[in-house]
Amino acid sequence: MNINQAFTILQKSGGIRAARIITEKYPKISFWRTLYYAHLLRRGMPVAKIIHSKWFYGIEFYTNKSTLDPRPDTETLVESVIKDCATNQKRTILDMGTGTGCIICALCKKIPNAAGVAIDKSYAALRVARKNIKKLNLPIKLKHADFAKFKSDEKFDIIVSNPPYIKYGDNRINIGATFDPKIALYAKNDGFEAYEQIAKNAKNLLKENGKIYLEIGVGQSNAVIKTFNFYGYKFERIEKDLSGINRVLVFTL
């Protein structure tokens, strides 16, 4: 099968963009592999899950069924941290719920003298993050831990997190999200459990005058601000994503 034939089959199943990405990734794709990928596209599987690759903040990351695919909205979180780090001062970063590692990898790649620790309670996600960290050769340590119980002798200048924040039973997610791990999407307490756990535990992990940056879902800003104020944090600002939606909250101690 030549590449034009493969492109035509994939285009009919997933559109021009999906066909282009897959055929560029696999220019010598076989007939049977083409039919298999076409089947996955018809089921609604995201292209990144098919080719195990997604670009984020100018960096290519490995991804698979054990992690969320890096999303453009999350680049707002990275950008929020970077603009607060204009100097060459050494900074330590903690990424809570790292998934692919895309957030902390982008930060340690783009911020001079940055190093970090990334935690996740999914061993499968940590294997994905380890693969990306090794490829990029970045000074990041991985730890198996959850939001509520992680402890560290070291305190951090910056804490970042894109935690699960979708309410169980919320049927507004798109079909592509059904291929993501539920552990990375859904949270108890109407989607706010992870924020409550982070707010309580991060006080023991953040340096004085350190900052915490959180990605949030649509309409969650007031409730998350209230939670962090209750635990003694000072609300600093909201950052909007490219669609004008409140996407990132920044707090200090």
> Which of 151, 27, 48 lies closest to 102, judged by CA?
48
Please name the helix (run of DSSP H) or strand (run of DSSP E) that holds residue 36, with its range, or none.
helix 31-43
Q: State pLDDT tens for residues 115-141.
A: 999 999 999 999 999 999 999 999 999
Residue type, 189: N
H-type alpha helices, the chain: 3-14, 16-25, 31-43, 47-51, 75-82, 102-110, 123-136, 188-191, 193-202, 221-230
| Mean pLDDT of the 3-20 span | 95
* Phi then psi dihedrals of residue 79, to 5 deg: -65, -35
> Which of 175, 173, 171 lies closest to 41, judged by CA?
175
| In the predicted structure, residue 218 carries a pLDDT above the cut 90 | yes
Tracing tokens 């002798």 back to the chain, one arrives at: 153
> Which of 125, 87, 89, 91 lies closest to 107, judged by CA?
91
H-type alpha helices, 155-253: 188-191, 193-202, 221-230
**Distance, CA of 20 to CA of 11 (rounded, Å):** 8
The domains found in the chain, sorted by start residue, are 3-43 (no CATH), 53-252 (3.40.50.150)
pLDDT of residue 29: 94
Cα 128 versus chain centre, distance: 12
> Which of 143, 73, 158 lies closest to 111, judged by CA?
158
For residue 88, name the pLDDT band (cuts at 50, 70, 90).
confident
**Distance, CA of 159 to CA of 145 (rounded, Å):** 15
Q: Give the predicted TM-score (pTM) of the model.
A: 0.94
Task: Indicate the average pLDDT of the chain.
Answer: 95
pLDDT of residue 77: 98
Count Cβ neighbours within 10 Å for each residue of 25-54 and write b for 16 or more, e otherwise. ebeebeeeebeebbebbeeebbbbbbbebb
